Amino acid sequence: MTALLTAADFGPHEALAARLLPHATEGDDGSHDLAHIHRVFRNALKIQAGEGGDAEILAAAVLLHDCVAVEKSSPLRSQASRLAAEKASGILAELGWPKERIEAVAHAILTHSFSANIKPETLEAKMLQDADRLDAIGMVGVARCFYIAGRMGSGLYHPGDPGAENRPLDDRSFAIDHFPAKLLKLSDGFQTETGRKLAEERHERLTLFLSLFRDEI
């Protein structure tokens, strides 16, 4: 079967994509598949156009930021970005990349994750984090939230207290709890001006969805 996405879809970094795409994903998680990588790549291009920075380092970091798969329900989840950074470093070393550029890519990958809670220090790291978080909010973020909840066997919401007014949030048991627990917080943490502007509209879509969902239940 013809691949749904190929290196040609990652212009203007087709040559780099051809070398890195075979390592970009693993497992069967549809919320962290090649389509996710492509969406983050397109987000990153938009941000980089406004912010500058090293385009090759950013592209490599995007292509490899999820090269290690760790389920959201795994106790190793907070280590996912570290594991991916280590694997990416080995891949780039085999391709002959210089040490300082490998370290720049690894730092971006290490710090992109919300669960890792490590501050990005470079422009490329900030742009990757913003590009990845854009894919967690808006309508795509809604779809990914419920997809992951299904993989984890979660319910849609707590029928007796859907707004968690008299109980602690529990987004491992109820998908809708993930909105106040994480998704609605993401737009406040964007690192670049371009990323913040893109996040504003998606955050509005997220809040509109939640309002309509609560109205229906």
The DSSP result for 126-164, as a single string, is HHHHHHHHHTTSHHHHHHHHHHHHHHHT-BS--SS-TT-
- Tell me, what's the pLDDT at 1? 35
- Tell me, what's the pLDDT at 3? 65
pLDDT of 57 over the 70 cut: yes
pLDDT-derived band at 74 (thresholds 50, 70, 90) equals low
User: Poorest-confidence range of 77-86, 124-133, 163-172?
Assistant: 77-86
Query: CA 15, CA 153: separation in Å to the nearest integer?
Result: 40
Q: Give residue for tokens 């939230």.
A: 145
22 cis-preceded (ω within 30 degrees of 0): no
pTM attached to this predicted model: 0.92
For the structural domain made of 136-217, what CATH number should be given? 1.20.58.1910
- Tell me, what's the pLDDT at 77? 65
